[in-house]
Amino acid sequence: MRRPGPAYLDFMASTPVDPSVIDAMTDAMSHDWGNPHSDHAHGLQASKIVERSREALAALLGAGEDEILFTSGATEANNLAIKGVMSSAERRGNHLVVSSIEHKCVLEAARSLVKTGIEVTEVKPGADGRVRAEAIAQALRPDTALVSVMHANNETGVIQPVREIAEICHRQGVLFHTDAAQTVGKIDVDFNHTGADLLSFSGHKFYGPKGIGGLVVSRAARLRLVPQLDGGGQQPLGRSGTVPVPLCAGLAAAARLYERHGQSARTHIQSLQRLLEDRVTRKGCPFTINPHAERIPGCTSLRAEGVNAEDILLHARGELSASTGSACNSGSIEPSYVLLAQGLSFDEASSSVRIGIGRTTSEADIDRAVSALLAAHEKAYRAAA
Give the residue numbers annotated as catalytic, written as ranges: 328
Distance, CA of 346 to chain centre: 25
- Number of other CB atoms surrounding residue 170 within 10 Å: 14
Q: Is beta strand 287-289 parallel, antiparallel or unpaired with respect to 299-304?
A: antiparallel
Q: Could you give the maximum distance between any two Cα atoms of the chain, in Å? A: 71
Q: Where are the beta strands (DSSP E) in 203-268?
A: 213-217
**Would you tell me the crossing angle of helices 245-280 and 19-31 to the nearest 10 degrees?**
170
In the three-class reduction of DSSP (H, G, I as helix; E, B as strand; rest coil), residue 302 is classed as strand
Backbone angles phi, psi at 217, to 5 degrees: -120, 120
Q: How many angstroms separate the CA atoms of 29 and 341, rounded? A: 45
Q: Find, among 28, 318, 295, the residue nearest to 186 by Cα.
A: 295
DSSP state of 114: G
In the three-class reduction of DSSP (H, G, I as helix; E, B as strand; rest coil), residue 188 is classed as coil
Q: Where are the beta strands (DSSP E) in 106-264?
A: 119-123, 144-148, 175-179, 198-202, 213-217
Is residue 133 within a helix (H) or strand (E), and if so which, with residue range? helix 133-139
Q: How many angstroms separate the CA atoms of 275 and 269, rounded? A: 10
